[in-house]
């Protein structure tokens, strides 16, 4: 077999470093290195350069913890953590208020079918309040539906009072719904107040690299 020149072996060494050398090439390289001091030194230098290129310190990454936490909406428990227990109590009161209508179809001024529907809405809202008291980080997601329900209920209450079909005393039952909405809003981090407080502050840098 003709002797292999050093240039061919060094090309094979480069292919071995890239993981592209075949088993026959590796055998020829090993056989040549055993008798060639120059190529053996070249192989050592190549391995040293390869380690320097492949193994290097990781580039420092700026911490985004402060920017992310500043934009989050953590649940606020209030002074002494009283908001969540208060919301849970409102849920219990609403559920008790809804049981007669839901189970027995009893609601002033309505037929049993409509009374059960009203009881179902009240019980569902009570369960939502209880869930938000248990999992406060979910409170923000319940706000749109709860606010819409309480707002439409308030409109109907005002209409009943104006027409005289209901007395103010009879409509006091809806105070629990309004109280629940306010407590839910506070547990969610009072997003409306928070936005106003920060409106005059310096805007945080965007985390989106495309902006």
pLDDT at 204: 46
Query: Residue 32: pLDDT above 90?
Result: no
pLDDT at 196: 46
Q: Cα 67 to the chain's mean position, in Å?
A: 15
Query: Residue 19: pLDDT above 60?
Result: yes
Q: Average pLDDT, stretch 28-46? A: 82
**Is residue 107 within 8 Å of 115, Cβ to Cβ?**
yes
The larger pLDDT score, comparing residue 107 to residue 182, is at 182
pLDDT at 73: 59
**Is residue 12 within 8 Å of 25, Cβ to Cβ?**
yes
pTM: 0.53
**Is residue 140 within 8 Å of 188, Cβ to Cβ?**
yes
**Percent of the chain beyond pLDDT 90?**
15
Q: Average pLDDT, stretch 191-209? A: 48
pLDDT in tens, 134-184: 888 888 888 898 999 889 988 988 888 888 877 777 778 888 999 999 999
Domain spans in the chain, listed from the N-terminal domain onward: 6-54, 75-197
Please give the C-alpha separations between residue 202 and each of 62, 198, 206, in angstroms, as whole numbers. 20, 8, 12
pLDDT at 126: 93
pLDDT at 13: 80
pLDDT in tens, 57-101: 667 778 877 777 766 655 555 444 788 899 999 999 999 989 888
Per the prediction, the chain carries an average pLDDT of: 78
Q: Average pLDDT, stretch 9-25? A: 77
CB count, 10 Å around CB of 8? 13
**Is residue 107 within 8 Å of 100, Cβ to Cβ?**
yes
């Amino acid at each position: 077999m003709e002797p292999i020149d050093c240039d061919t072996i060094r090309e094979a060494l480069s292919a071995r470093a890239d993981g592209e050398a075949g088993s026959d090439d590796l055998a020829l390289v090993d056989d040549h290195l055993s008798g060639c001091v120059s190529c053996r030194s070249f192989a050592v230098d190549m391995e040293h350069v390869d380690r320097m290129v492949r193994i290097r310190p990781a580039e420092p990454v700026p911490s985004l913890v402060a920017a992310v936490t500043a934009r989050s909406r953590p649940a606020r428990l209030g002074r002494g953590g009283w908001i969540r227990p208060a919301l849970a109590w409102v849920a219990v009161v609403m559920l008790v208020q809804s049981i007669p209508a839901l189970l027995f179809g009893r609601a002033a001024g309505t037929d049993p079918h409509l009374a059960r529907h009203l009881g179902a809405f009240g019980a569902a809202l009570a369960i939502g309040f209880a869930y938000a008291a248990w999992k406060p980080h979910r409170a923000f997601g319940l706000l749109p539906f709860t606010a819409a329900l309480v707002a439409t209920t308030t409109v109907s209450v005002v209409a009943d009072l104006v027409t005289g079909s209901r007395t103010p005393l009879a409509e006091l039952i809806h105070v629990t719904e309004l109280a629940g909405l306010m407590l839910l809003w506070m547990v969610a981090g009072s997003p409306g107040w928070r936005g106003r407080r920060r409106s005059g502050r310096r805007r945080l840098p965007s985390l989106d690299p495309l902006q």
